[in-house]
Amino acid sequence: MVNVLILGSGGREHALADAIHRSNRLDRLFVMPGNPGMAAIATLIDDDPMNNDVVRSFVIEHHIELVIPGSEVYLRNGIADALQDLDLIVFGPTRQAAEIESSKRYAKDLMRRHAIPTAQYAVFTDYDKAVAYVEQQGTPIVVKYDGLAGGKGVVVATDKEEAIAALDKMLRERTYGTDGVVIEEYLEGPEFSLMCFVVGDILIPMPIAQDHKRLLDGDQGPNTGGMGIYSGVPIIPDEVVDQAMTTIMEPIVKALADDGRPYVGFLYGGLMHTTDGPKVIEFNARFGDPEAEVILPRLKSDLIDVILAVTSGRVPEVRWSSSYTVGVVMASNGYPGTYRKLVPIHGLDKIEGSVYHMGTTIQSGQLVTNGGRVLLVVGQAETLAEAVHQAYANVASIKCDSLMYRRDIAHQSLKR
Least Å distance, CB 385 to ligand AMP, is: 25
CB 4 within 8 A of CB 302: no
Nearest-CA neighbor of 276 among 249, 251, 247? 247
Least Å distance, CB 172 to ligand GLY, is: 26
CB 288 within 8 A of CB 352: no
**Which of the listed partners (ligand AMP, ligand GLY, none) does 117 bind, with a CB threshold of 5 to 8 Å by partner kind?**
none
Tell me 116's DSSP state: -
Nearer to ligand GLY, 146 or 291 (CB): 291
Q: How, if at all, do strands 141-145 and 264-274 pair? A: unpaired
Q: Does 184 bind ligand GLY (CB under 6 A)?
A: no
Binds ligand AMP (CB under 6 A): choice among 59, 156, 309, 388: 156
Contacts with ligand AMP in 242-281 (CB under 6 A)?
A: 270, 281
DSSP string spanning 146-175? SS--TT--EEEESSHHHHHHHHIIIIIS-S
Contacts with ligand AMP in 44-73 (CB under 6 A)?
A: none
Nearer to ligand AMP, 4 or 141 (CB): 141
DSSP string spanning 280-321? EEEEESS--TTHHHHHGGGB-S-HHHHHHHHHTT------B-
Nearest-CA neighbor of 326 among 209, 157, 246? 209
Q: Does 13 bind ligand GLY (CB under 6 A)?
A: no
Q: Does 289 bind ligand GLY (CB under 6 A)?
A: yes
Q: Does 332 bind ligand GLY (CB under 6 A)?
A: no
Q: Which stretch binds ligand GLY (CB under 6 A): 102-110, 152-160, 285-293, 300-308?
A: 285-293
Q: Does 154 bind ligand AMP (CB under 6 A)?
A: yes
Binds ligand AMP (CB under 6 A): choice among 2, 6, 68, 119: 119
Q: How far apart, in whole angstroms, are the C-alpha atoms of residue 303 and residue 226?
A: 24
Q: Does 108 bind ligand AMP (CB under 6 A)?
A: no
Angle between helices 104-113 and 250-258 (to 10 degrees): 100
Q: Could you count the other beta carbons within 10 Å of the beta carbon of residue 154?
A: 18
Q: Could you count the other beta carbons within 10 Å of the beta carbon of residue 164?
A: 17
Q: Which stretch binds ligand AMP (CB under 6 A): 51-59, 79-87, 175-183, 185-193?
A: 185-193
**Which of the listed partners (ligand GLY, ligand AMP, none) does 284 bind, with a CB threshold of 5 to 8 Å by partner kind?**
ligand GLY
Q: Does 226 bind ligand GLY (CB under 6 A)?
A: yes
Torsion sign, CA atoms 228, 231, 232, 235: positive
* Residues at the contact surface with ligand GLY, assessed by CB under 6 A: 211, 226, 284, 288-291
* Residues at the contact surface with ligand AMP, assessed by CB under 6 A: 119, 142, 151, 154, 156, 184-187, 191, 213, 223, 270, 281-282
